[in-house]
Protein backbone atom coordinates (compact mmCIF):
# COMPACT_ATOMS: atom_id res chain seq x y z
CA UNK A 1 0.00 0.00 0.00
CA UNK A 2 1.36 3.40 -0.96
CA UNK A 3 1.59 5.88 1.93
CA UNK A 4 2.97 9.36 2.34
CA UNK A 5 6.59 9.16 3.49
CA UNK A 6 6.73 12.52 5.27
CA UNK A 7 4.53 13.59 8.21
CA UNK A 8 1.39 15.56 7.39
CA UNK A 9 1.65 18.08 10.19
CA UNK A 10 -1.64 19.82 10.94
CA UNK A 11 -1.41 23.61 10.98
CA UNK A 12 -5.08 24.58 11.04
CA UNK A 13 -8.51 23.03 11.59
CA UNK A 14 -11.80 24.85 11.08
CA UNK A 15 -15.43 23.81 11.52
CA UNK A 16 -18.52 25.38 9.95
CA UNK A 17 -22.07 24.42 9.09
CA UNK A 18 -24.31 24.53 6.01
CA UNK A 19 -28.09 24.16 6.21
CA UNK A 20 -29.59 22.11 3.38
CA UNK A 21 -33.36 21.95 2.97
CA UNK A 22 -34.43 18.89 0.94
CA UNK A 23 -35.44 19.34 -2.68
CA UNK A 24 -38.65 17.38 -2.09
CA UNK A 25 -40.95 16.64 0.84
CA UNK A 26 -39.87 13.62 2.89
CA UNK A 27 -41.96 11.93 5.58
CA UNK A 28 -41.39 8.71 7.46
CA UNK A 29 -43.24 7.17 10.39
CA UNK A 30 -41.75 9.46 13.02
CA UNK A 31 -40.52 12.67 11.42
CA UNK A 32 -40.42 15.08 8.52
CA UNK A 33 -37.03 15.68 6.92
CA UNK A 34 -37.07 19.50 6.85
CA UNK A 35 -33.39 20.44 7.00
CA UNK A 36 -30.00 18.78 6.90
CA UNK A 37 -27.44 20.50 9.10
CA UNK A 38 -24.17 19.60 7.37
CA UNK A 39 -21.16 20.12 9.64
CA UNK A 40 -17.84 20.48 7.81
CA UNK A 41 -14.29 20.26 9.11
CA UNK A 42 -11.42 21.54 6.97
CA UNK A 43 -7.90 20.53 7.99
CA UNK A 44 -4.82 22.18 6.51
CA UNK A 45 -1.27 20.90 6.86
CA UNK A 46 1.85 23.04 7.17
CA UNK A 47 2.64 22.44 3.50
CA UNK A 48 -0.80 23.64 2.39
CA UNK A 49 -2.62 20.36 1.78
CA UNK A 50 -6.35 20.50 2.52
CA UNK A 51 -8.70 17.76 3.69
CA UNK A 52 -12.46 18.31 3.90
CA UNK A 53 -14.68 16.08 6.04
CA UNK A 54 -18.29 16.27 7.13
CA UNK A 55 -21.15 14.87 9.18
CA UNK A 56 -24.84 15.75 9.38
CA UNK A 57 -27.97 15.91 11.45
CA UNK A 58 -31.58 15.90 10.28
CA UNK A 59 -32.86 19.24 11.51
CA UNK A 60 -31.57 19.51 15.08
CA UNK A 61 -28.33 19.21 16.99
CA UNK A 62 -25.95 20.47 14.34
CA UNK A 63 -24.95 23.54 16.34
CA UNK A 64 -24.14 21.33 19.34
CA UNK A 65 -21.81 19.28 17.13
CA UNK A 66 -20.24 22.48 15.85
CA UNK A 67 -19.65 23.81 19.36
CA UNK A 68 -18.06 20.54 20.51
CA UNK A 69 -15.70 20.67 17.57
CA UNK A 70 -14.72 24.29 18.04
CA UNK A 71 -14.32 24.27 21.82
CA UNK A 72 -13.02 20.79 22.61
CA UNK A 73 -11.79 18.78 19.62
CA UNK A 74 -10.18 20.97 16.96
CA UNK A 75 -7.78 22.70 19.41
CA UNK A 76 -6.20 19.26 19.99
CA UNK A 77 -5.20 18.82 16.33
CA UNK A 78 -2.48 21.44 15.87
CA UNK A 79 0.92 19.83 15.36
CA UNK A 80 -0.46 16.31 14.99
CA UNK A 81 0.57 14.06 12.10
CA UNK A 82 -2.59 13.65 10.01
CA UNK A 83 -1.44 10.22 8.85
CA UNK A 84 -1.86 8.82 12.38
CA UNK A 85 -5.63 8.58 12.13
CA UNK A 86 -6.13 5.86 14.76
CA UNK A 87 -4.06 7.77 17.30
CA UNK A 88 -5.93 11.01 16.65
CA UNK A 89 -9.34 9.33 16.74
CA UNK A 90 -8.59 7.69 20.08
CA UNK A 91 -7.20 10.89 21.58
CA UNK A 92 -10.27 12.89 20.58
CA UNK A 93 -12.65 10.16 21.74
CA UNK A 94 -11.09 9.86 25.20
CA UNK A 95 -10.84 13.63 25.57
CA UNK A 96 -14.66 13.80 25.42
CA UNK A 97 -15.44 10.43 26.97
CA UNK A 98 -17.89 11.97 29.40
CA UNK A 99 -20.23 12.55 26.43
CA UNK A 100 -19.56 9.25 24.64
CA UNK A 101 -20.89 6.96 23.31
CA UNK A 102 -23.61 9.05 21.68
CA UNK A 103 -24.63 10.95 18.57
CA UNK A 104 -23.17 14.41 19.26
CA UNK A 105 -19.67 13.11 19.98
CA UNK A 106 -19.78 10.53 17.18
CA UNK A 107 -20.87 13.11 14.62
CA UNK A 108 -18.11 15.49 15.69
CA UNK A 109 -15.51 12.71 15.50
CA UNK A 110 -16.80 11.76 12.05
CA UNK A 111 -16.31 15.25 10.65
CA UNK A 112 -12.67 15.19 11.78
CA UNK A 113 -12.04 11.58 10.76
CA UNK A 114 -13.37 11.98 7.22
CA UNK A 115 -11.19 15.07 6.75
CA UNK A 116 -8.15 13.07 7.88
CA UNK A 117 -8.97 10.24 5.47
CA UNK A 118 -9.37 12.80 2.69
CA UNK A 119 -5.86 14.08 3.46
CA UNK A 120 -4.46 10.57 3.70
CA UNK A 121 -5.90 9.54 0.33
CA UNK A 122 -4.76 12.77 -1.36
CA UNK A 123 -1.23 12.32 0.01
CA UNK A 124 -1.17 8.73 -1.25
CA UNK A 125 -2.70 9.79 -4.62
CA UNK A 126 -5.33 7.06 -4.23
CA UNK A 127 -9.14 7.03 -4.13
CA UNK A 128 -10.77 6.14 -0.82
CA UNK A 129 -12.24 2.85 -2.01
CA UNK A 130 -8.76 1.58 -2.92
CA UNK A 131 -6.91 2.81 0.17
CA UNK A 132 -9.66 1.50 2.47
CA UNK A 133 -9.62 -2.00 1.00
CA UNK A 134 -10.27 -2.00 -2.73
CA UNK A 135 -12.65 -4.96 -2.84
CA UNK A 136 -14.56 -3.79 -5.93
CA UNK A 137 -15.19 -0.61 -7.89
CA UNK A 138 -19.00 -0.64 -7.94
CA UNK A 139 -21.92 -1.54 -5.70
CA UNK A 140 -25.65 -2.05 -6.49
CA UNK A 141 -27.83 0.97 -5.76
CA UNK A 142 -31.36 1.11 -4.38
CA UNK A 143 -33.81 4.01 -4.38
CA UNK A 144 -35.26 5.55 -1.22
CA UNK A 145 -36.26 8.91 -2.65
CA UNK A 146 -39.36 7.46 -4.32
CA UNK A 147 -40.74 5.63 -1.28
CA UNK A 148 -41.63 8.29 1.29
CA UNK A 149 -44.65 7.81 3.50
CA UNK A 150 -46.70 10.78 2.29
CA UNK A 151 -46.80 9.52 -1.31
CA UNK A 152 -50.02 8.04 -2.65
CA UNK A 153 -50.17 4.50 -4.01
CA UNK A 154 -50.26 5.91 -7.53
CA UNK A 155 -47.18 8.02 -6.85
CA UNK A 156 -45.35 5.07 -5.30
CA UNK A 157 -46.12 2.89 -8.33
CA UNK A 158 -44.87 5.60 -10.69
CA UNK A 159 -41.65 5.97 -8.67
CA UNK A 160 -41.16 2.21 -8.63
CA UNK A 161 -41.64 2.04 -12.40
CA UNK A 162 -38.99 4.74 -12.83
CA UNK A 163 -36.58 2.82 -10.60
CA UNK A 164 -37.06 -0.37 -12.61
CA UNK A 165 -36.66 1.54 -15.89
CA UNK A 166 -33.27 2.82 -14.70
CA UNK A 167 -32.17 -0.76 -14.14
CA UNK A 168 -31.80 -0.42 -10.37
CA UNK A 169 -32.32 -3.58 -8.34
CA UNK A 170 -33.86 -2.15 -5.16
CA UNK A 171 -36.70 0.14 -4.05
CA UNK A 172 -37.32 1.11 -0.42
CA UNK A 173 -40.65 2.12 1.07
CA UNK A 174 -41.56 3.70 4.37
CA UNK A 175 -44.27 2.19 6.54
CA UNK A 176 -46.22 3.80 9.36
CA UNK A 177 -49.79 4.30 8.19
CA UNK A 178 -52.54 4.07 10.84
CA UNK A 179 -53.27 0.51 9.76
CA UNK A 180 -50.70 -2.18 9.00
CA UNK A 181 -53.08 -3.43 6.32
CA UNK A 182 -52.79 -0.09 4.53
CA UNK A 183 -49.00 -0.39 4.61
CA UNK A 184 -49.24 -3.91 3.21
CA UNK A 185 -51.59 -2.79 0.43
CA UNK A 186 -49.12 -0.10 -0.60
CA UNK A 187 -46.21 -2.53 -0.60
CA UNK A 188 -48.24 -5.12 -2.52
CA UNK A 189 -48.97 -2.56 -5.24
CA UNK A 190 -45.27 -1.79 -5.60
CA UNK A 191 -44.35 -5.49 -5.56
CA UNK A 192 -46.85 -6.17 -8.35
CA UNK A 193 -45.38 -3.29 -10.36
CA UNK A 194 -41.77 -4.39 -9.91
CA UNK A 195 -42.27 -8.12 -10.38
CA UNK A 196 -39.81 -10.62 -8.97
CA UNK A 197 -36.54 -9.10 -10.14
CA UNK A 198 -36.36 -5.88 -8.09
CA UNK A 199 -35.90 -6.07 -4.31
CA UNK A 200 -38.42 -4.25 -2.11
CA UNK A 201 -37.06 -2.94 1.19
CA UNK A 202 -39.33 -1.74 4.01
CA UNK A 203 -38.39 0.84 6.66
CA UNK A 204 -40.39 1.45 9.86
CA UNK A 205 -38.00 4.05 11.36
CA UNK A 206 -38.17 2.59 14.91
CA UNK A 207 -41.92 3.24 15.10
CA UNK A 208 -43.30 -0.18 16.12
CA UNK A 209 -43.71 -2.25 19.24
CA UNK A 210 -42.63 -5.90 19.19
CA UNK A 211 -46.19 -7.24 18.69
CA UNK A 212 -46.81 -4.72 15.90
CA UNK A 213 -43.53 -5.58 14.19
CA UNK A 214 -44.15 -9.33 14.47
CA UNK A 215 -47.59 -8.93 12.90
CA UNK A 216 -46.26 -6.70 10.12
CA UNK A 217 -43.47 -9.15 9.34
CA UNK A 218 -45.97 -12.01 9.11
CA UNK A 219 -48.09 -9.97 6.68
CA UNK A 220 -45.06 -9.03 4.59
CA UNK A 221 -43.50 -12.47 4.22
CA UNK A 222 -45.68 -13.47 1.21
CA UNK A 223 -44.50 -10.29 -0.58
CA UNK A 224 -40.84 -11.41 -0.44
CA UNK A 225 -39.60 -8.27 1.30
CA UNK A 226 -35.81 -8.00 1.05
CA UNK A 227 -35.41 -6.52 4.53
CA UNK A 228 -37.41 -4.93 7.34
CA UNK A 229 -35.49 -1.90 8.56
CA UNK A 230 -35.48 -0.43 12.08
CA UNK A 231 -38.79 -1.97 13.11
CA UNK A 232 -38.18 -1.20 16.82
CA UNK A 233 -36.38 1.49 18.79
CA UNK A 234 -32.64 1.04 18.35
CA UNK A 235 -32.09 0.53 22.08
CA UNK A 236 -34.39 -2.53 22.04
CA UNK A 237 -31.80 -5.12 21.05
CA UNK A 238 -33.74 -7.91 22.76
CA UNK A 239 -36.84 -7.09 20.76
CA UNK A 240 -34.88 -7.10 17.51
CA UNK A 241 -33.40 -10.50 18.39
CA UNK A 242 -36.85 -11.95 19.15
CA UNK A 243 -38.22 -10.50 15.93
CA UNK A 244 -35.34 -11.80 13.82
CA UNK A 245 -35.90 -15.29 15.22
CA UNK A 246 -39.61 -15.13 14.39
CA UNK A 247 -39.47 -14.17 10.70
CA UNK A 248 -37.72 -15.12 7.49
CA UNK A 249 -37.36 -11.43 6.57
CA UNK A 250 -33.85 -10.12 7.35
CA UNK A 251 -33.89 -7.39 10.01
CA UNK A 252 -31.81 -4.35 9.02
CA UNK A 253 -30.38 -2.13 11.76
CA UNK A 254 -27.56 0.31 12.29
CA UNK A 255 -28.31 3.87 11.28
CA UNK A 256 -29.10 4.72 14.91
CA UNK A 257 -26.15 2.88 16.50
CA UNK A 258 -23.11 4.92 17.45
CA UNK A 259 -20.32 2.48 18.30
CA UNK A 260 -18.84 -0.73 16.87
CA UNK A 261 -19.52 -2.30 20.26
CA UNK A 262 -23.26 -1.74 19.77
CA UNK A 263 -23.06 -3.63 16.49
CA UNK A 264 -21.10 -6.39 18.20
CA UNK A 265 -23.93 -6.89 20.69
CA UNK A 266 -26.56 -6.93 17.94
CA UNK A 267 -24.59 -9.42 15.86
CA UNK A 268 -23.86 -11.69 18.82
CA UNK A 269 -27.58 -11.71 19.66
CA UNK A 270 -28.59 -12.58 16.08
CA UNK A 271 -30.52 -9.31 15.92
CA UNK A 272 -29.02 -7.91 12.69
CA UNK A 273 -29.47 -9.59 9.33
CA UNK A 274 -28.28 -6.48 7.45
CA UNK A 275 -25.87 -3.92 8.93
CA UNK A 276 -26.61 -0.30 7.97
CA UNK A 277 -23.67 1.43 9.60
CA UNK A 278 -23.58 5.18 8.88
CA UNK A 279 -20.10 6.74 8.65
CA UNK A 280 -21.28 10.00 10.23
CA UNK A 281 -23.16 8.43 13.12
CA UNK A 282 -20.54 5.79 13.93
CA UNK A 283 -17.77 8.38 14.26
CA UNK A 284 -16.16 8.35 10.83
CA UNK A 285 -14.49 6.09 8.30
CA UNK A 286 -12.16 4.53 10.89
CA UNK A 287 -14.91 2.89 13.01
CA UNK A 288 -17.06 2.32 9.91
CA UNK A 289 -14.44 -0.02 8.49
CA UNK A 290 -14.11 -1.83 11.82
CA UNK A 291 -17.86 -2.35 11.91
CA UNK A 292 -18.00 -3.59 8.31
CA UNK A 293 -15.24 -6.12 9.01
CA UNK A 294 -17.00 -7.15 12.21
CA UNK A 295 -20.15 -7.83 10.18
CA UNK A 296 -18.08 -9.81 7.67
CA UNK A 297 -16.87 -12.05 10.52
CA UNK A 298 -20.54 -12.83 11.23
CA UNK A 299 -21.23 -13.41 7.50
CA UNK A 300 -23.55 -10.39 7.42
CA UNK A 301 -23.72 -7.89 4.57
CA UNK A 302 -23.43 -4.11 4.87
CA UNK A 303 -25.83 -1.65 3.24
CA UNK A 304 -24.86 1.73 4.73
CA UNK A 305 -27.44 4.34 5.60
CA UNK A 306 -27.67 7.61 3.61
CA UNK A 307 -24.50 9.58 2.60
CA UNK A 308 -24.31 7.92 -0.81
CA UNK A 309 -21.48 10.20 -1.94
CA UNK A 310 -19.21 8.80 0.79
CA UNK A 311 -20.68 5.34 1.26
CA UNK A 312 -20.21 4.28 -2.35
CA UNK A 313 -16.45 4.24 -1.73
CA UNK A 314 -16.74 2.50 1.64
CA UNK A 315 -19.18 -0.17 0.43
CA UNK A 316 -16.85 -0.79 -2.51
CA UNK A 317 -13.84 -1.08 -0.20
CA UNK A 318 -15.15 -4.11 1.72
CA UNK A 319 -16.16 -7.55 0.42
CA UNK A 320 -19.55 -7.55 2.16
CA UNK A 321 -20.75 -4.18 0.81
CA UNK A 322 -24.18 -5.04 -0.60
CA UNK A 323 -25.99 -1.81 -1.51
CA UNK A 324 -25.71 1.98 -1.66
CA UNK A 325 -28.79 4.01 -0.72
CA UNK A 326 -29.71 6.68 -3.26
CA UNK A 327 -30.85 9.95 -1.63
CA UNK A 328 -29.27 12.94 -3.46
CA UNK A 329 -29.28 15.33 -0.49
CA UNK A 330 -25.84 16.81 -1.18
CA UNK A 331 -26.67 17.82 -4.76
CA UNK A 332 -26.69 21.59 -3.98
CA UNK A 333 -23.11 21.38 -2.67
CA UNK A 334 -21.56 19.10 -5.30
CA UNK A 335 -20.63 19.58 -8.94
CA UNK A 336 -22.15 16.31 -10.11
CA UNK A 337 -24.14 13.44 -8.68
CA UNK A 338 -23.43 9.81 -8.01
CA UNK A 339 -22.43 7.93 -11.14
CA UNK A 340 -24.70 4.94 -11.71
CA UNK A 341 -24.22 2.42 -14.52
CA UNK A 342 -26.31 -0.69 -15.13
CA UNK A 343 -27.81 -0.43 -11.68
CA UNK A 344 -24.46 -0.04 -9.93
CA UNK A 345 -23.02 2.99 -8.15
CA UNK A 346 -19.47 3.55 -9.40
CA UNK A 347 -16.78 4.30 -6.82
CA UNK A 348 -14.97 7.55 -7.69
CA UNK A 349 -11.48 7.14 -9.14
CA UNK A 350 -10.18 10.55 -8.04
CA UNK A 351 -7.78 10.69 -5.06
CA UNK A 352 -9.36 11.62 -1.75
CA UNK A 353 -12.94 11.00 -0.66
CA UNK A 354 -14.00 11.38 -4.28
CA UNK A 355 -16.79 13.86 -3.52
CA UNK A 356 -16.81 16.66 -6.14
CA UNK A 357 -17.47 19.52 -3.74
CA UNK A 358 -18.65 22.82 -5.19
CA UNK A 359 -16.62 25.16 -3.01
CA UNK A 360 -18.46 28.26 -4.21
CA UNK A 361 -21.82 26.69 -3.34
CA UNK A 362 -20.53 25.63 0.07
CA UNK A 363 -19.38 29.18 0.75
CA UNK A 364 -22.79 30.54 -0.25
CA UNK A 365 -24.59 28.00 1.99
CA UNK A 366 -22.26 28.49 4.92
CA UNK A 367 -24.30 29.61 7.91
CA UNK A 368 -23.25 32.40 10.21
CA UNK A 369 -22.87 30.64 13.54
Residues labelled catalytic:
174, 305
How is residue 147 annotated by DSSP?
-
- With left for phi above 0 and alpha for psi between -120 and 50, is residue 79 left, alpha or beta? left
Confirm if 33 and 145 have CB atoms less than 8 A apart.
no
Q: Which residues contact 95 (CB under 8 A, 6 or more apart)?
A: 72, 73, 76
CA angle 168–173–178, rounded 5-degree value:
165
Helices of type H across the chain? 62-68, 85-95, 103-124, 128-131, 153-165, 180-194, 210-220, 237-246, 260-268, 279-282, 285-297, 308-317, 359-365
For residue 275, is the peptide bond before it cis, meaning its omega torsion is within 30 degrees of 0?
A: no
The CB density around residue 213, as the number of other CB atoms within 10 Å, is: 25
Confirm if 104 and 64 have CB atoms less than 8 A apart.
yes
Confirm if 164 and 190 have CB atoms less than 8 A apart.
no
Strand pairing of 227-229 and 199-203? parallel
HSE-up (13 A, CA, CB side) for residue 65: 32
Amino acid sequence: MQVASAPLVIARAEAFICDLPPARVRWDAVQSFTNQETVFVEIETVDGQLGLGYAYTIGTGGRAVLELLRRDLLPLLAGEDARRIEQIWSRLFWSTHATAVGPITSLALAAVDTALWDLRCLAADLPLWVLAGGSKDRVPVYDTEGGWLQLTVEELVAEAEATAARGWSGFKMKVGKPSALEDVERIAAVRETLGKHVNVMVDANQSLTWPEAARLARLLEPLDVYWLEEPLPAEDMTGHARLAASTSIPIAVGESLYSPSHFREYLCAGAAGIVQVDAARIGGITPWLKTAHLAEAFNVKVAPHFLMELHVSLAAAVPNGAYVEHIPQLAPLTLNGLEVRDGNAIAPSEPGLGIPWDRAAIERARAQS
